Chains A and B, each alone.
Chain A
Amino acid sequence: MSRADILGAIRRGLRRGALPDDQAMALRARLVGHPRHLVPARSQVPRPAQIALFIANVEKEFGTVARVASLDDVPAAIGDYLAAANLSTDFAMAPHPDLLGLNWDSRPMLTPRVGRAQGSDLVCLTQGYAGIAETGTLMLPATPERPTTLNLLGDVALVVLKASRVVGPYEDGWDLLRRELGMPRNVMLVTGPSRSADIESTLELGAHGPRNLHIVLVDDDPAAIG
């Protein structure tokens, strides 16, 4: 059997048998404790600076950010963005309570369809689980309220993210995830819109995924407003 063959070959190479219990215990303790290594200093700054770093990094990677005061302002911000870009006002929307609870009728032209994305959807809206300031990265775990296809199939990916969910380094994001969701089936870390440099080593945006990534950042965290 291949499992035994491979493990046996590894142990022969390492010139030992299966790990003794005490050593295996130490490794199990390392897994449970999952210690952090060196975490770069750049994201370990006061809250307002962390939010500013997150926004600067999203923009550096060709994403865009609109900052609004409360969740109630989200439909208007999305309506404005789609109108300015001359885009369809039909869009696929994640069945997340934050989004379902919004008054979409406040902008009569906006027509969200709740569910996963289809191949023909041009605009998709999802709820951002967390933001990572270190590199302007969104953490988008798959849950029934956040279908993965919404991150991928649209030409435009819209994400509503609460400022209280912006953390410094990736490690803080993992801790949130372990505490709240365990390890979901799929966790996407998304940094900017899709791109490719496969043609003559020259960057082009919009390879197979979204050409545009637009984040509506909701200022729900008084400590984060500088």
Chain B
Amino acid sequence: MQSTSPAFKANVTGALADAGLQKALTFTRPRFPERRAAAVAALPEFERLRDIGRDIKNHTLANLDFYLETWADNVEKSGGHVHWCSTADDARAAVLAICERVGAKTVTKGKSMISEELGINEHLEQHGIAPVETDLGEYILQLRGEGPSHIIAPAFHLNREDWEESFRKSHTDLPADRVFGERRDILVEARTILREKFLAADVGITGANFLIAETGSSVIVTNEGNGDLTQTLPRVHIVLASIEKVVPTLEDATSMLRLLARSATGQDFSVYTTFSTGARRPGDLDGPEEYHVVLIDNGRTGMIGTEFQDMLRCIRCSACMNHCPVYFTVGGHSYGWVYPGPMGSVLTPGLIGVEKAGHLPNASTFCGKCESVCPVKIPLPKLMRHWREREFERHLTPGAMRTNLAIWGWFARRPGLYRTATRLAAWGLGLLGRKRGRFASLPFAGNWTEGRDLPAPEGETFFARYAREQRNQA
């Protein structure tokens, strides 16, 4: 997928002015946190399960070579095939080779973020094979030629009128005067059209939420059942999975699954959690005749052993973006690549380079909400700060910002001077703003005061008050 991350600031300006997007963001914003909070409250062990989830992933990453080899051996033993792919190019070629060998004309697809990373749809289309997205949200985005704006609710930025318009434009063999009275009518139309696609497809491509070393299985989680139809009906099932998806055993996967749905949608468990192990066996009346896993690195091994290794624990639940004030102001497309929100702000620079994605780790208030809801306790603000440091070290930060940071840094390393300077500044500003109590504009801070007023400082500085209260307690 092409990145527009370097144009983050322009993307944001557009997003803030997009009334339809802002309507969808405002509507959805309270819903994710409410649902997660209810699910978490109903499971007293949830906090302890987060520690367990973090530990399982850390254990697996520390032994990732061993678990991947064990998993791959078990895939082969169960009659499946593993295609090891270092790059996105390798992975696209592997998928295409399988599709061409079996003479595929159409391919159905379950929802998969790594397939967005690879741009698999464009690649298949260029070679005369028609990919059909079957997740309801991904389906309408394919009709509209858009990318997902969220990792589990890819089309929530659209409103009902957008759905109706796209369906009328695309489903031209249906009566033009049909009525979409409620959301259900949209759903029924998509179900009917996609049912034919499921039955006609030659190959089904899904992602994987987990790979299991013990059994050589891949796991997908859906609510619609589209992933299951995709992997059950065609002759060939191809799984796209990145290397960090592996966990050791069914018990390990189970502990992760207890965290996943609660963190994502606030369900106790998703509707369909399905474990696939190899191809159709003797006597089976259905299921694919071939089972392939395209195992993808695409930059992830470069994070192992660095301060960003923690990011490889991510299980793509979306809790971080669901609770992020920045994400719910600018929407997912502003981030400019596959992964938005806090997890995207850490992962994207790692995969496409900080020189392209440097704006993303800067687009955070560091409020810390993301880390507090992460099911595997990834220290997202800390990792964003590491990217800011790397950006600074490589002189990618704009000149004015570097100068200001240098000035601030000079003072901050001299605490006595720093306190005196801030006391003087606070006193001066307080004096100047005594009449109105706030400033509508300030020199050097025009961008900031454009959207709000700065309250005039009153009373003592934080340090002075802190010192006084320490003295009083003593």
Contact = CB atoms under 8 A, between A and B. Distances in A.
Contacts of B43: 40, 42
A50 interface: no
A201 B269 contact: no
Contacts of A38: 45, 48-49, 52, 255
A10 B86 CA distance: 12
Interface residues of A, number: 75
A178 to B, nearest CB: 8
Given A13-B309, A200-B160, 14 more contacts: A1-B84, A2-B297, A9-B302, A10-B64, A12-B305, A137-B273, A142-B284, A185-B277, A185-B287, A191-B273, A200-B27, A208-B191, A208-B229, A209-B225
Interface stretch (B182-190, B332-340, B449-457): B182-190
Contact of B271 (A13, A18, A34, A194): A194
B189 to A, nearest CB: 11
A41 interface: yes
B85 interface: yes
Closest A-B pairs by Cβ, 7 of them: A209-B225, A13-B304, A13-B305, A144-B283, A9-B301, A207-B224, A198-B137
Contacts of B263: none
B232 interface: yes
B462 interface: no
A186 B243 contact: no
Interface in A132-153: 135, 137, 142-144, 147-149, 151-153
A116 to B, nearest CB: 4
A48 B451 CA distance: 61
Interface string B146-184: 000000011110111001000000000000000000011
Contact of A184 (B45, B183, B277): B277
A151 B387 CA distance: 47
Nearest to B94: A2
A152 B191 contact: no
A194 B224 contact: yes
Interface stretch (B118-126, B246-254, B371-379, B398-406): B246-254
Contacts of A42: 43
A202 B232 contact: no
Interface stretch (B9-17, B193-201, B418-426, B439-447): B193-201
B136 to A, nearest CB: 4
Contact of B187 (A57, A119, A207): A207
Nearest to B230: A208
B134 A208 contact: yes
Interface stretch (B211-219, B408-416, B430-438): B211-219
A201 B28 contact: yes
Contacts of B183: 199-200, 202, 204
A195 interface: yes
A201 to B, nearest CB: 5
B191 A19 contact: no
B258 interface: yes
A195 B254 CA distance: 22
Given A5-B86, A171-B251, A187 B275 contact: yes
17 contacts: A3-B72, A6-B86, A10-B64, A18-B65, A35-B249, A37-B254, A37-B255, A143-B284, A144-B285, A147-B285, A185-B284, A197-B265, A201-B153, A204-B183, A207-B223, A208-B191, A209-B228
A102 interface: no
A30 B67 CA distance: 11
A183 B78 contact: yes
Interface string A102-127: 00000000000001110100000000
A27 interface: yes
A31 interface: yes
Interface residues of B, number: 101
A183 B258 CA distance: 21
A97 to B, nearest CB: 14
Contact of A189 (B48, B251, B273, B285): B273
Contacts of B280: 185
Given A2-B90, A5-B86, A201 B156 contact: yes
Nearest to B279: A185
Contacts of B254: 37, 170-171, 174
Contacts of A143: 283-284
A195 B63 contact: no
A206 B191 contact: yes
A95 B285 CA distance: 10
A210 to B, nearest CB: 8
B276 A27 contact: no
A132 to B, nearest CB: 9
Contacts of B252: 37
A2 B225 contact: no
B407 to A, nearest CB: 38
Contacts of A128: none
A198 B225 contact: no
